[in-house]
A and B are shown apart, each in its own frame.
Chain A
């Protein structure tokens, strides 16, 4: 078992790494849009991909979610909520855009 001091240093480093990763991803995202480095379609995809990666960084480094076995119950809760969100939000978007498409 690690002593407290070493463990503290390790956890602080983990927060710092998460902070720097998230900062980098945000800056790249804003810079892409500010400088309009890519055509609009690619730009949008880029922003969404970077946003999604940043989401994972936040979950991993700030909320300490990972795939270790002892956290399985909580992971189940998270995955179930994700399923609900995908069904409800995704379903709303699909149905309404489909209607929009049919009415034009």
Chain B
């Protein structure tokens, strides 16, 4: 009888590799499936970007991007989200190399969660100061497209934050077992993906609008 050989195909995203070979193999198809979801999500965002590109100049006599956008607050949001991507990376590495150190894992998660919530607070502040200047979604094609795109991203960050809370609870209740590990891996992909979308938003929406 031949010995069973697991050829561990590497999936995109962090691979557990030799630190936990069994979970690494088991994670393969859930992670690939999650990539299929992320890519269809990417198509949604791409089309919202396309709509924004078409509607950008359709201000209908209302406020323009110059009147509404603040470079300082979009820069801060960029820094916050980028840092949260890094702290999630550190959480992934903690999970991979010292899974028994729950406190450190929860610490990185908490930091990521705080950054996510602060990002959302800044975004809501932006929206309300835009509304105060007459920049509401129903004002023009530009504003409808803007709110459709940016708040879809904001909703993703909000659901990511809820997911983070759920994973923190699972780490406490179940420990860092194989199932929890593959869930954390997928949440990681989701979180890094949201940061990538944000790169598109600050380049295409905020910086282009302010030029």
- In the complex, the chain B residue whose C-beta lies closest to that of A36 is B211
Q: How large is the interface on B (under 10, 10 to 19, 20 to 34, 35 or more residues)?
A: 35 or more
Question: Does A103 have its Cβ within 8 Å of any Cβ on chain B?
Answer: no
Out of B17, B40, B82, B211, which one reaches A47, CB within 8 Å? B211
The answer, yes or no, to whether B159 is at the interface (CB within 8 Å) is: no
Residues 193-210 (chain B) with a chain A CB within 8 angstroms: 193, 195-196, 199-200, 202-204, 207-208, 210
Chain B residues within an 8 Å CB radius of A30: 71, 74-75, 78, 202, 207
Q: Which of B41-49, B115-123, B162-170, B176-184 contacts A (4 or more CB under 8 A)?
A: B41-49
Q: Are B192 and A85 in contact (CB under 8 A)?
A: no
Minimum CB–CB distance from B201 to chain A (whole Å) comes to 10
Q: Are B47 and A81 in contact (CB under 8 A)?
A: no
Q: Which listed residue, B15, B53, B199, touches A51 by the CB 8 Å rule?
A: B199
Binding site for B on A (CB under 8 A): 1, 4, 7-8, 11-12, 15-16, 18-19, 22-23, 26, 29-30, 33-34, 40, 43-44, 47-48, 50-51, 54-55, 58-59, 62-65, 68, 70-71, 73-74, 77-78, 81, 84-85, 88-90, 92-93, 96-97
Q: Which B residues fall within an 8 A CB radius of A?
A: 9-15, 17-19, 32, 35-36, 39-40, 42-43, 46-47, 49-51, 53-54, 71, 74-75, 78-79, 82-83, 85-86, 89-90, 93, 96-97, 189, 192-193, 195-196, 199-200, 202-204, 207-208, 210-211
